[in-house]
Amino acid sequence: MCPQCDKECTYWYLNITCSSSKTLCIFDSFGTLIFAVFMGIWVTLFLEFWKRRQAELEYEWDTVEFLEQEEQPRPEYEAKCTHVVVNPINQQEEHVPYTTCGKCLRMAFCTSAVFFWIMLIVASVVGIIVYRLSVFLVFSATLPRQISGKEAIQKYLTPQAATTITASIISFIIIMLLNILYEKVAIMITDFELPRTKTEYENSLTTKMFLFPFVNYYSSCFYIAFFKGKIVVGYPGDPVYWFGDTVMKRCDPGGCLLELTTQLTIIMGGKAIWNNIQENSSTVSPLLLNKKKAQRKIETIKPRWEQDYHLQPIGKLGLFYEYLEMVIQFGFVTLFVASFPLAPLLALVNNLLEIRVDAWKLTTQSRRMVPEKAQHIGAWQPIMQGVAILAVVTNAMIIAFTSDMIPRLVYYWSFSVPPYGTYSSNTMEGYINNTLSVFSISDFKNESRPVPPVWFQNQTTCRYRDFRYPPGQEHQYEHSILYWHVIAAKLAFLIVMEHIVYFVKFIISYIIPDISDETKDKIKREKYLTQKLLHERHLKLVKKQIGGLADKIFKGMDNIGIKKSD
């Protein structure tokens, strides 16, 4: 195989990818496609049945028309109302904290701050890319040229795995540090924005708090899945460079899908472990404080409500972080399930553990929260719907552009099945050789020519993964017709899969109503009984007024000597 970088890298054997290719077969199969389609449909069913359950809770808790009522302004908002404006509806003067120009300036500042932090994430992703390239070059430069055979394979595999794993761990550490810093910044930005009501404040904070973790957690995964090794990378004689002298690196020998799976495993697993450590530490602290208080006051017996009051407060954003954690996990389970089908299983195990920990913490160690009315889960609902729509695209693109499923199908139908091919005992025989192009060593430029190792002997050509014409032909090193066939097949698969899944999602959304018939009947009956009671009350008032008027008339008649019979 041709070197994967200039000078420092050397030639290598293809069989070093055997172990990673065998591991990749677990996920890169037709079953993964079926599972990805199933998850795309499942997420629609999940959201539709959640809407139905939400409608039932709205009726049971009497919050159906909560948002239609006038919500009171926040005290922080009213405290800064210094400007007088005329309300366009009632034409009366009212106080506001800022003018229209001031509101635009606040929004521009808040948007710029969020954009700055997102760019900071992009910078960290680029830093991880540079780290991968640098470590790869260092490991390749230190690989001895005098060794051969199995020893060379063993010495090459370890650096490759070490680069992938260490880069994923560093990426996870950066993600968690940036996330901790941004949480404080997001609250400061939202306070400066000064929303009028609590609902507006929560929706604004929710959008900011989700947008940053979304880019933070998923940016490296998007890079590996859709950019690494897929944009223009050139070929051994004409590579593409970054930063002047760094070659644009292709995927690892095992493929980008295996690297994406490793990245997701470390980030998702590490996030679950980190959150559990945080929650347990936040639980241990109140437990110790509560025990100290109990020891000091053990001599007195107090009612339960007073005992609860002395527990630790949960904080006004305690429930918010629970929502954020679940929605981020929802993204991991849906967006990249084609590359990591075990994500739902890890989420299930994590949630089973977290349910019990949260239940124990909320009922025994934390002060009971003050209940507040809410019609629904607010901005989280459209966020999950957006993630569900995006999940169809990401999984289709992973199968089309990251896995080898489409190239294998193109080869199968082009070379193994009539009329273009012939049936054989092994219909995929020759596939690996078909995916490797030939490069003449003499075509290396002097500044990028690698030093051949001892075991390379007198070879004149090397191989690399691509679909290009071999040297010596009219269109040498240009993309072959098979390359365009594969690209067309990938685009066709992407379009067909997206339209099929979206069509099924639309049918499911249309068939399953957001409110069940039973809940609709209850709401209609409640409105009917309310109208009936109001009508009967009105009739009683009318009868009472008529009766009082009749008594006055009869009394007046009695005074002037007229009898009722007359």
Structure confidence by residue, pLDDT tens digits, 429-450: 788 888 889 998 888 887 777 7
pLDDT score, position 519: 87
| Helix or strand (DSSP H, E) at 428 | none
pLDDT score, position 104: 84
Mean pLDDT for all residues in the chain: 78
Q: What is the C-alpha separation between 201 and 108, in angstroms, rounded?
A: 17
pLDDT for 492 beyond 90 = yes
Asked, for residue 523, whether it belongs to a domain, the answer is no
Asked, for residue 423, whether it belongs to a domain, the answer is no
Which of 58-72, 149-163, 192-206: highest mean pLDDT? 192-206
pLDDT for 398 beyond 50 = yes
Asked, for residue 58, whether it belongs to a domain, the answer is yes
Q: What is the pLDDT of residues 78-89, one digit of tens each?
A: 787 777 776 666
Q: What is the pLDDT of residues 322-343, one digit of tens each?
A: 888 889 889 989 988 888 888 8
Between vectors from CA 116 to CA 111 and to CA 117, what angle results, nearest 5°? 105
Cis peptide before 419 (omega within 30 of 0): yes
pLDDT score, position 157: 46
Higher pLDDT, 483 or 144: 483
β-strand pairing of 238-239 with 234-235: antiparallel
β-strand pairing of 436-440 with 238-239: unpaired
Asked, for residue 245, whether it belongs to a domain, the answer is yes
- Position 311: which residue type? L
Q: Is 83 strand, coil or helix? A: strand
Asked, for residue 265, whether it belongs to a domain, the answer is yes
Q: Which domain holds residue 273?
A: 14-403+485-515
Asked, for residue 84, whether it belongs to a domain, the answer is yes
User: 178-199 burial string, b = 16+ CB within 10 Å, else e?
Assistant: bbeebbeebeebbeebbbbebb
Asked, for residue 318, whether it belongs to a domain, the answer is yes
Q: What is the C-alpha separation between 329 and 354, in angstroms, rounded?
A: 13
Confidence of residue 309 (pLDDT cuts 50, 70, 90): confident
pLDDT score, position 390: 92
pLDDT score, position 504: 92
The tally of domains found in the chain comes to: 1
CA distances from 363 to 89, 192, 317, 370 (A): 47, 34, 17, 14
Interval 475-489 mean pLDDT: 89
Q: What is the C-alpha separation between 385 and 377, in angstroms, rounded?
A: 13
pLDDT score, position 217: 81
**Are 187 and 206 spatial neighbours (Cβ–Cβ below 8 Å)?**
no
- For the record, the structure tokens of 238 come out as 């004409």
Asked, for residue 206, whether it belongs to a domain, the answer is yes
pLDDT for 391 beyond 70 = yes
pLDDT for 288 beyond 70 = no
Q: What is the pLDDT of residues 513-541, one digit of tens each?
A: 888 888 888 888 888 888 888 887 777 77
Interval 444-458 mean pLDDT: 75
